[in-house]
Structure 1
Amino acid sequence: MMSAISRLLASSSWSVLLQKSLHFLLNMLRFHTGAAVLALTAAWVCQADVGDFTPCERFFYNAWPPKGLVGAAICQRYLNKYHFASLYDRHRRTPSYSAYLFSPADTKRPHTHWKYEPQLAYAKADGNMIPFPPGPVDQNVVQSQAIELDYINSSYTRGHLSPSLHHSDDIDKCATFTLTNVVPQKGPSNDGPWAAFEKDIKNRLTSYCAKEAYIVTGVIPYQKDRWIKGDRVAIPEYLWSAYCCPSYNTSIPANLTQAFPTYAAIGRNDPNSTEEIVPVDKTRPKKYLGYDVRLMSLKTLEMYLQDRLGTVFSVFYNGCST
């Protein structure tokens, strides 16, 4: 029961006023219920002190964030503007997912600094992401999130969940280069089948989506967490992505009629994973062997997420049905 209450308190849909009232009540009860309430209070502090998605609801279809996971809700803010949203897993020091509005883009990948989220380290910090300093990093930042040193010489690349390729504005692109938007991703996945998938989605939505397209991209952890640099950053076994295009044109070719208004995919991040979720194409070049991406319906994706994450997970409001 206490874990259920903790999940409710971590939900971004609760108002600040209600959270403060409940916090007061918990403090009153703490003297009577002991360790259970202390554990609940600790869970709340760890999961709900960054904020909620209210300032950046426009990045979610029908202003409705995915349901089923708790974490630190980050409205990714850079140069005083919101660019996308991420649900951050403090324990694993990776985002569980990032959500954004697709914008047709032809510009190149920007040259920019990697950034971090100061509010994860200091609750009263300014809400803008900022570049890492050239020297030592504040220990509160080190403890609260991934830092550049975690990825250096780790054999993993920094895999974007909200990729710069899917944004047209230069500042939007630069904002994706924050470590609260990336996960450890093997190079042959990041530069191979997953990169090809991102380009295919870019071309598809640019050609056939008439208005807004909403994308959510996330991770599936190993059933027993694996890490880089000791226990610093958790490695995902799979990446997943889904889009919602409520309004699309009528010139869609026959082979893509099942891909609108929604479609989804799961990509392998480990060539040695079993093939129950994503089969391996044995004809791929050796470099990319085992890093396949499987396209699927939104319902099929949610079925796998429910099975692996142990929770009923809904990506889009009403399944992106208009």
Structure 2
Amino acid sequence: MLLGLLLICVGWHTTPGGAEVVTSFEETCPRFFFRETPPRIGLTPAHLVRICQRYRNQYRYATMYDRPNYIPLYSAYIYNPGKAKRPQNWMVEPQLVRSSLPPEMTLEEDLLKKQVTLAELEKSQAVLKDYKNLIDYNRGHLNPNSHQPNSDAKKSTFTLTNTVPQYEKLNGGSWANYEDKTMKVKTQGCKDTFAVVGAVPGNKYIAGKRVNQPSHVWSAACCYIDNNRIRSWAVIARNDKDAVEELTLGQLEGKLAELYQQNSISLFHSDCPRQ
């Protein structure tokens, strides 16, 4: 399942640049992680690109991007839902093409006007045409716009670096129910809720075998109530069925260790309860 992710990928060298494609989440955008501690998943670093997702000169969330598979491995954000309208336009990440390009996400058509060819863009990340004419799958946000507070924050989630091919019935069914209803119930009484939502690369692809179709999608949250009370919860779903399995954080970490073929995985700082 993860052979393509775990093998050394010659030619995919990441050059940090500007303020968005970064070498360290802790140094650039740590606030999106509970206790400023990013997940420890242990996959081959050469494959993964850290993005502090920036829009309108402000960091909005953090994404670990699996560039050879053209999907995010996970996005981490602070849950803070608002009522602004759902955006429509999808964006791309210039610095995945070249580190000298601007550090903010932008519309694909605008980037192609700035001496970037479609071939260069396609080599660096998923593009709009990859998600056209799909059957049974559509664009699934890891960081959903419904969990963000205002128009600009919601727009920032509409980037293809925050998107995976998700089973359409799951995206509009059980997964949407978790995002909109379960999270609302679980976060009652929370002062701050830190979320990490991810995908497990699978054996199938879309767009002429370009973009990986994850075998599973998952979500975990750590909720800070006060100095003595912290709670957590988690879910996982196969990406070909409309069903979500509720787990403890510890159970999810154990299941992901098997799926990612790792000895152990830690999604949050050790202060976050695993049971």
TM-score range, shorter chain: 0.7 to 0.9
Count residues in correspondence: 253
- After superposition, the CA RMSD in angstroms is 2.6
- Does residue 120 of structure 2 align to residue 143 of structure 1? no
8 Å CA contact 2:78, 2:193 repeated in 1? yes
Task: State how 1:35-74 maps to structure 2 within 5 Å.
Answer: 45-46=13-14, 50-51=21-22, 52-53=24-25, 54-68=27-41, 69=43, 70=45, 71-74=48-51
TM-score with structure 1 setting the length: 0.73
* Cα displacement (A) at 1:104: 3.1
* Cα displacement (A) at 1:268: 2.0
In 1: Cα distance, 2:251 partner to 2:225 partner: 22
In 2: Cα distance, 1:41 partner to 1:229 partner: 22
* Cα displacement (A) at 1:59: 0.2
* Counterpart pick for 1:75 among 48, 52, 56: 52
Letter in 2 for 1:104: P
* Counterpart pick for 2:74 among 67, 89, 97: 97
Q: In structure 1, what is the equivalent of residue 267 of structure 2?
A: 315
Show CA shifts across 1:37-58 (max 9, x none). xx89856x24867313122110
Cα distance, 1:243–1:229 mapped onto 2, change above 3 Å = same
In 2: Cα distance, 1:40 partner to 1:202 partner: 37
Q: In structure 2, what is the equivalent of residue 261 of structure 1?
A: 231
Letter in 2 for 1:200: K
Cα distance, 1:41–1:267 mapped onto 2, change above 3 Å = closer
Show CA shifts across 1:202-245 (max 9, x none). 31245221x111000001222xx210022210001111000000
Structure 1: give runs of 5+ residues left out of the alignment: 1-6, 8-38, 251-256, 271-289
* Cα displacement (A) at 1:84: 0.4
* Counterpart pick for 1:185 among 142, 161, 166: 166
In 2: Cα distance, 1:298 partner to 1:124 partner: 39
Letter in 2 for 1:98: S
Could you say what secondary structure the match of 2:214 adopts? strand
* Cα displacement (A) at 1:198: 0.6
Letter in 2 for 1:141: L
- Does residue 117 of structure 2 align to residue 117 of structure 1? no
Q: In structure 2, what is the equivalent of residue 303 of structure 1?
A: 254
Relative contact order (alpha carbons < 8 A, sep ≥ 6): 1 or 2 greater?
2
Structure 2: give runs of 5+ residues left out of the alignment: 1-5
Segment drifting more, 178-187 vs 127-136: 127-136
Segment drifting more, 241-250 vs 188-197: 241-250
Letter in 1 for 2:270: N
* Counterpart pick for 1:175 among 156, 180, 186: 156
Cα distance, 1:47–1:157 mapped onto 2, change above 3 Å = farther
Cα distance, 1:248–1:157 mapped onto 2, change above 3 Å = farther
Q: In structure 2, what is the equivalent of residue 280 of structure 1?
A: none
Letter in 2 for 1:56: C
Show CA shifts across 1:121-169 (max 9, x none). 1022111000110797632111110001000002221000000111112
Task: State how 1:195-214 maps to structure 2 within 5 Å.
Answer: 195-209=176-190, 211-214=191-194
Letter in 2 for 1:116: V
Segment drifting more, 194-203 vs 77-86: 194-203
* Cα displacement (A) at 1:309: 0.1
8 Å CA contact 2:187, 2:223 repeated in 1? no
